[in-house]
Amino acid sequence: MRAAGEIRAGVDAPRTASAFIAGIQGGVQVLRSTGSVEDLEAVLDTLIDYLRGPGSTGAAC
């Protein structure tokens, strides 16, 4: 994915993977307690934007 330009250079893969897991777990927990996917979508959009780097649109999902 990095070679294809989908992930920006310099991303620390293990640390980013941990952040993805924690963020998704939190988003799912909020979803389960509220019934709303809004927070989970925000987490996913933000994490994907981070991987893509500056100039991401925020509309990844």
For residue 14, how far is the Cα from the chain centroid? 14
Residue 58: which pLDDT band, with cuts at 50, 70 and 90? low
Give the pLDDT of residue 32: 97
Q: How many CA atoms does the CB half-sphere of 17 hold within 13 Å?
A: 3
Count of positions (residues) in the chain: 61
Predicted confidence (pLDDT) per residue in 5-44, tens digit: 777 788 888 999 999 999 999 999 999 999 999 999 999 9
* Segments making up each domain of the chain, as ranges: 1-61
C-alpha to C-alpha distance for 17 and 32, rounded to whole angstroms: 22
DSSP 61: -
Give the pLDDT of residue 57: 64
